Amino acid sequence: MSSALPLPAPKRFPLAAMLVLATIAFTAITTELLPSGLLPQISDGLTVSEPVAGYLAAAYAAVIVVTVIPAARLLARVPRKTLLVSLVLTFALSNVLVGLAPNFAAAMGARLVGGLAHGLLWTTMAPFVSRVVPADKVGKALAIVFSGNSLGLAIGAPLGTALGTFFGWRAAFLFLAGFGLLLTGLALWLLPLVRRTPDAVRPSMRLAIAQPGVKSVAIAWPLLVLAHFALFTYIAPFIREAGLPDYAISLSLTVLGAAGLLGIWIAGITVDTRPRRSLLITTAAIAVAMLLLPLGGGIFPVAMVLMTVWGAGLGAIGIFNQAAILRAGGEYRDAANGLTVLTIQLGITVGALYGSAALVLAGPLMVPVAAALPVVVALAITLAGKRHAYPPGRKERGWSEAEAGTPALIEAGK
pLDDT in tens, 65-118: 888 878 888 887 888 899 999 999 999 999 999 999 999 999 999 999 999 999
| Mean pLDDT score across all residues of the chain | 83
C-alpha distances out from residue 91 to 97, 98, 394, Å: 10, 11, 39
DSSP string, 221-273: HHHHHHHHHHHHTTHHHHHHHTT--THHHHHHHHHHHHHHHHHHHHHHHHTTT
Whole-number pLDDT of residue 344: 83
SS3 298: coil
* 121, 341 Cβ separation under 8 angstroms: no
Region 360-387 average pLDDT? 92
Give CA–CA dist 80/219, Å, rounded.
27
SS3 199: coil
Give CA–CA dist 239/294, Å, rounded.
10
pLDDT tens column, 5-44:
344 555 678 889 999 999 999 999 888 878 877 877 888 8
Whole-number pLDDT of residue 285: 97
pLDDT tens column, 134-182:
877 877 888 788 888 777 866 777 778 778 878 889 999 999 999 999 9
Q: How many CB atoms sit inside 10 A of residue 361's CB?
A: 9
Rounded to two decimals, the pTM is 0.75
pLDDT tens column, 226-280:
999 888 878 878 888 888 887 787 788 778 878 888 898 888 888 888 899 999 9
C-alpha distances out from residue 276 to 81, 123, 239, 325, 408, Å: 31, 23, 33, 13, 17
Whole-number pLDDT of residue 251: 80
The H or E element containing residue 375 is: helix 367-384
What is the number of helices (H) and of strands (E) in the chain? 19, 0
